[in-house]
Structure 1
Amino acid sequence: MSPTPRKRPSGGAAAAPRDLGVPKMPKGKRLTPRQKEELGAAAERAYLDRKASIAEISEASGRSYDSIRRLLVDRGVPLRPRGSRARGDKASGSQDGACR
């Protein structure tokens, strides 16, 4: 009997979808100014208030990563650095507040 191949866990936002309050928008079509404003405001709330990643917002809205990033930049939203925080790190950057 041959061993069954092990499935690799998928990474990114697909692992645990959550409700971000972002409207689903049509893929491959230009957004109207009203749709752009609606999606931009919802994406900004999800990114800043709910700490969602751009990839999570992209998946929830049905739009590309780049289009969501562009919406956030156009709205003046300060983007977080790419990648995940190191284990044990707090949002402030270090546990004891001292520089290393």
Structure 2
Amino acid sequence: MVDLDLPRIKPRTQLKGEEREKFVEQVIKAYGHPASIRQICKETGRSYGAIYRVLVDNNVTLRPRGGKNNVRRKS
């Protein structure tokens, strides 16, 4: 796995102000790197929902689920 150079945040820590803005920028950059949401969660110690919310709230286009073997089937 690639080192994403993201900060590890203690559980139950609420980020505010400049610290939160910097964290959001780092998460968006890592997702475009491309790291998965789960990889970002593992490195930062934040939940999947928290990382997902950061991305969605900042209008980041999410990649489709499934990885390289995901085959979309016609209904």
- Give the match for residue 30 of structure 1: 14
TM-score normalized with structure 1 length: 0.63
Deviation at 1:23, TM superposition (A): 1.4
Shift of 1:55: 0.3
Bigger helix fraction:
2
2:36 counterpart of 1:56 = no
TM-score by length of 2: 0.81
Q: How does 1:35-50 map to 2 (within 5 A)?
A: 35-48=19-32, 50=33
SS at match of 2:68: coil
Residue in structure 1 matching 2:58, options 72, 75, 79: 75
Q: Which has the larger radius of gyration?
A: 1
Within the candidate set 49, 61, 65, 1:66 is matched to 49
Count of paired positions = 71
Which consecutive unaligned segments of at least 5 residues does structure 2 have?
Answer: 71-75
**Which structure has the higher relative contact order (CA within 8 Å, separation 6+)?**
2
RMSD: 1.8
